[in-house]
């Protein structure tokens, strides 16, 4: 039995929202991190990714599958079960993703200051 994903896995102030390096769409890095420990069902992914609508999460999973990062497996039976897992290509993103997250965490204050300054110029201008 897998350990459930923690609901607070991604804080609303998570540095991932400031990460300038994109792996797929906005939510793809978070999905990849959720799948790091093994296959997950859609409902399991929804727990830490509660800020993502089901429609957007589905689109993100499909894009990751299309690009070869995620594999979707349908387990037949009376209650059909679908799981998502990282492919070897998807697993190869874990190192660069970790480095990008560490960089964003290290430069958190600078990134926030830059965004605030930009927004201030936009409102003044």
Domain boundaries, the chain: 15-124
The CATH fold assigned to 15-124 is Arc Repressor Mutant, subunit A (1.10.10)
Q: Sheet containing 70-75: give its strands across.
A: 40-41, 81-86, 70-75
Cα–Cα distances in angstroms (integers) from residue 63 to residues 89, 99, 112, 113, in the given order? 14, 22, 29, 32
Express each pLDDT in 51-73 by its tens digit: 999 999 999 999 999 999 999 99
Q: What angle do CA 23, 98, 117 make, to 5 degrees?
A: 70
Express each pLDDT in 12-56 by its tens digit: 555 555 555 556 788 999 999 999 999 999 999 999 999 999 999
pTM: 0.76
Residue 95 — very low, low, confident or very high, per pLDDT cuts 50/70/90? Answer: very high
Mean pLDDT of 2-13: 72
The distance in angstroms from the start CA to the end CA of the chain is: 56
């Amino acid at each position: 039995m897998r350990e459930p994903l923690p609901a607070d896995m991604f804080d609303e102030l998570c540095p991932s929202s400031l990460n300038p390096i994109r792996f797929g769409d906005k939510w793809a890095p978070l999905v990849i991190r959720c799948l790091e420990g093994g296959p997950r069902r859609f409902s399991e992914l929804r727990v830490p990714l509660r800020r993502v609508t089901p429609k957007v999460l589905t689109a993100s999973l499909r894009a990751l599958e299309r690009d070869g990062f995620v594999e979707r497996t349908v387990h037949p039976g009376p209650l059909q079960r679908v799981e998502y897992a990282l492919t070897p290509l998807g697993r190869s993103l874990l190192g660069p993703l970790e480095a990008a997250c560490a960089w964003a965490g290290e430069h958190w204050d600078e990134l926030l200051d830059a965004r605030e300054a930009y927004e201030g110029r936009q409102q003044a201008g």
